[in-house]
Chains A and B, each alone.
Chain A
Amino acid sequence: MDAQHGSAVVVERLVKLYKGVPAVDGISFQLAPGSITGLLGGNGAGKTTTIAMIMGLVTPTSGTVAVLGARMPDERYRVLHRMNFESPYVALPMRLTVRQNLSVFAQLYAVADIDARIGELAADLDLIEFLDRPTGKLSAGQKTRVSLAKALLNRPEVLLLDEPTASLDPDTADWVRERLVRYRGTQNATVLLASHNMTEVERLCERVIIMKKGRIEDDDTPQRLLDRYSRETLEEVFLDVARGRGEYREAAQ
């Protein structure tokens, strides 16, 4: 954890420019240990770039990111074994079986008892019958569960999820959310979740950061956001922010 702030993740005045155009424009936030935070925003809002900078995959133009006290990306090897992520933009090798993929990543993350950990995750995520099947032969929902198993292999203290339920049917998506809540409960993990799915964010997150054009437009608990915007759902809040009506409504009140 960050010694100065007591936060698992500290983002300060973070900027990322691509050819002079801001993808992320001076954002700051901190994530408390054991919290689940939703990062909301439309396409091009800067969610994925923000997560990529937290992971150390992208170097910020200016500003800083610290994860568990390590400055990213320069000190990433101090903490990468304590983090993990899941994203629809990456995949596991299709020809390898689920067990082979998980065992390779378990070895990369120096997991102590690999077979036991894979067995534990397979039981928890309902993967036992697929363990010896090639990953490419699985359905989208099954692949997502395998990716989640990979993301949980090392019992990460910081878990970054980029649209974890994208392209899943409602039942499977609900099932994945339940597992995430359970994981946070048992490991006290800090979870940052980028999503377009307002129901998901409403159900999972105790805090929501809404991004627009690379900036943070609002940052609060779901209930306070609903109250402030006088809305029934986060989707309505999101639309208010996306269409620039947020300030108007606040001013009107």
Chain B
Amino acid sequence: MIATDSGLNFSFNRVAAMVRRYWYLLRSSWPRVLDLVYWPTVQMLMWGFLQLYVSQHGGLFVRASGVFIGAVLLWDILFRGQLGFSISFLEEMWSHNLGNLMMSPLRPVEFIAALMIMSIVRLLIGMIPVTLLAVAFFGFNLWSLGFALVAFFVNLILTSWAIGVFVAGLLLRNGMGAESMAWTIMFLFLPLTCVYYPVTVLPHLLQYVAWALPPTYVFEGMRALLIEHVFRADLMVEALAFNVVLFAAASFAFVKLLQSARVQGSLLQAGE
């Protein structure tokens, strides 16, 4: 498609070009592929063995099949989804290629679409082997959750993309000084979204914060499914609604940060 007046025009061809660019990079570097699998595997094994130990001494909750392993696998979807998005973006800064892209007809929305696709690709490469190992080691089959897994996945990936879009804006505006945000921002969600414990554990005020974060609904939904064997569709719908708001806010912030980067001239120094 040839560029026209509007910056909003979308070209699947340009998205495909960017996905191809990241795929070339991924397949050229085995440490990058290993990195996708290594840490989720370590996490899953650690929490799996902890669950085995606790289940021999704990109550009903911890004996419920796969609560910890399920939590760590879903957390990895959230965390790795954002990291996959942000690392692909960082690759452009590390290679000083951002100027080439910003000067090309590639629209920001196409760039973001390519980053979303790559976050799913990277997630699948990392998570499929880990979920199979969870079956082999602990008899926990994440795939058996069926439709519930789809609902969990959609909500978690939407949150991860929203955070990824926001971090990309920070990187454009502040350069590599904001790189640490890409690696650590999601850990702010770890205690507040109640990955490993129910929301009721939190102090009363923090519970309001927790319920404003979409992943909280997913982790509560997962516990309802694994402990009470009930799929809470209402929680998934609420999570989706909060995700829409979060994604809109992140997109707005990205546009403003990109505008600010053009005013401050920081796109010229991207990579520093």
Contacts and interface: CB of A to CB of B under 8 A. Distances in A.
A79 B3 CA distance: 7
A55 B91 CA distance: 23
Nearest to B25: A95
Given A73-B262, A85-B103, A100-B24, A91 B14 contact: no
Contacts of B56: none
Given A55-B103, A80-B105, A81-B105, A107 B13 contact: yes
Contacts of B98: 90
Contact of B6 (A77, A83, A108, A150): A77
Greatest chain B CB density within 10 A among A93, A109, A110 is at A93
Given A57-B262, A92-B95, A84 B103 contact: yes
A124 B91 CA distance: 30
B28 A95 contact: yes
B262 A89 contact: no
Contact of A78 (B3, B20, B104): B3
A93 B83 CA distance: 20
A57 B268 contact: yes
Contact of A104 (B5, B20, B91, B103): B20
Contacts of B17: 104-105, 107-108
A80 B99 contact: no
Given A57-B268, A81-B105, A108-B106, A90 B7 contact: no
B103 A77 contact: no
A110 B103 contact: no
A81 B18 contact: no
Contacts of B263: 58-59
Contacts of B16: 107
B180 interface: no
Given A78-B3, A78-B4, A96 B28 contact: yes
B46 to A, nearest CB: 32
Contacts of A181: none
Interface string A36-79: 00000000000011001001111100000000000001011111
A105 B104 contact: yes
B216 to A, nearest CB: 38
Contacts of B21: 93, 96, 100, 104
For chain A, the bracket of interface size reads 35 or more
B13 A110 contact: yes
Nearest to A96: B24
Interface string A94-105: 111100100111
B144 interface: no
Nearest to A95: B28
B265 A78 contact: no
B183 to A, nearest CB: 21
A208 to B, nearest CB: 24
B1 interface: yes
A221 interface: no
Contacts of B18: 104, 108
Contact of B95 (A58, A94, A105, A109): A94
A78 B28 contact: no
Interface centre among B1, B25, B95, B106 (most CB of A within 10 A): B95
Contacts of B99: 57, 87, 89-90
B9 interface: yes
Contacts of B43: none
B268 A58 contact: yes
A133 to B, nearest CB: 12
Rank and list the top 3 A-B pairs by shortest CB-CB distance, nearest first: A107-B17, A90-B99, A91-B96
19 contacts: A18-B265, A49-B268, A57-B102, A57-B265, A57-B268, A58-B262, A59-B259, A73-B262, A77-B9, A81-B3, A89-B268, A90-B97, A92-B100, A100-B21, A104-B17, A104-B21, A105-B104, A110-B1, A110-B3
Given A83-B103, A108-B18, 5 more contacts: A78-B3, A87-B99, A93-B25, A96-B25, A107-B13
